[in-house]
Structure 1
Amino acid sequence: MSISTTGVLPRVRKRAVGPPRKKWRPDLRRWISPVVLVAAWQIASATGVLPPDKLSSPWTVVQAGVESARSGELGDAFAVSLGRVGAGFAIGAVAGVVLGIVAGLSRWGEVLVDPPVQMLRTLPFLGLIPLFILWFGIGEETKIVLVALGVAFPLYLNVHSGIRGADPNLVEASRALGFSRAERLAHVVIPGALPQALVGLRQSLGIAWLALIVGETVNADAGVGYLINNAREFLRTDVVVVGLVLYALLGLVTDALVRLLERKVLRWRTR
């Protein structure tokens, strides 16, 4: 007696072919070298090879950080520095992206915008501090402008290069399909420029914290830089290291946020 399979086979669904999606897991091997360095630092401090007046031990730094956090001093400094970076980043990001788009999409825009931007980019913007002090004084404006300059140039270069590097075959194909200029920008040029623009965003955030460190050494009365300068005058190397570690953590956190944004926005990439 044979069993008929009529009406059964069509119900069988085909499973998607392809490798299973891998879950993201942190690579713990990346922690090996930092842990070894901190252990060597602690051993050098405990044996007297590294005197405390030159550099405090990691345990002393941790205690100083906890003490500063409990007193509220560290939180206040963090809030002030974050506000300065936020304001400077907003100004610099808008300027860099707008100028990059104008220079990347238009020949006249490139002719008129790119030369002065390249001239300003070659100047050491940290060397402009005396001029900024004359223009804006020693208040918040100087620090915010320094951060904005540090942010604008990497974003400009990457946005401009990303737009100019759009695949000409895709652009020509979209034109042949009857896409309007706005549609070509939305579906071909901008998606193609996004990876490089996000690289520029990561670079800009790194330079923003560097510019803030320098800016907060210019007669600041609040912020992480002020905390470091104040500790230096009292030879508190533990508090100095706490401030530097806070800068580093802020840089790592912002970079991680951009990398998360890359994974969300650039899901179409195969790797």
Structure 2
Amino acid sequence: MSSLLRVEHVTISYNGKPVVQDVSFELKQGEILGIVGESGSGKSTIIKAVMGLLGEEGLVTKGDIWYKGENLTDMSTKELRRYLGKEIGMVFQDCKSALCPVRKIGAQIYEAVSEHEKASRHEVRNRAGEIMKKIGLNDADRVLDSYPFELSGGMNQRVGICTAMIMRPKLLLADEPTSALDVTVQKQVVEELLFMREEYNTAMILVTHNIGVVRMMADRVLVLQNGHVREYGETENVLENPQDSYTKKLMESVLRLKKSGM
């Protein structure tokens, strides 16, 4: 099977200073890649580069990002927008902050869909309602008629997943999707993301510091430290038999936290 996404020797710089250097990996349809590392290691920067969301100061200064055989790094903002939302979706760390606080959920989801296809509000509402029911939001009508501040953190996170998945993208980028949630809701969100992979054969990149989530979800894992790849391979091999000294320390810290009851 050919790669859906291929990142080749990518270096990303802000104001001319490299923050991610010589990163390479690939992702096939239906696969999940976990990217782990300390805060500031460059995890989120990589998926922002895929989405073209590095801002004015950020730039891919070396390497290429290939999606379905097309080089995203060569595309203009207008060309890239053809893919964002429709082919490539994103779930943010705090979906509530990514939503407009003065517009109802239903209106915002409709706007996201209408950017890429012609559909009636009724059709989009029905589609959103079907996804919401699949991911545990049984009162879809109330959610769609609500403002973000009227919903809990867990519900807003599910709204974010619904918005990202309503176009059935081939690739989903999830930036710390469970870190703002309590343990019970974290488990539910993980199960919902796995359900989406099973339902739509969606490939995912999961950025997280939670090794447990990576162990549960990811087929492969990439370990970053200070913008450099320290280890990359199948999840079980990397987590159970780490070869790099940094990965070993990372796993030892997880074991210490477990033993301390944290």
TM-score by length of 1: 0.22
Q: Which has the higher helix share?
A: 1
The structure number with the bigger radius of gyration is 1
TM-score by length of 2: 0.22
Q: Which has the higher strand share?
A: 2
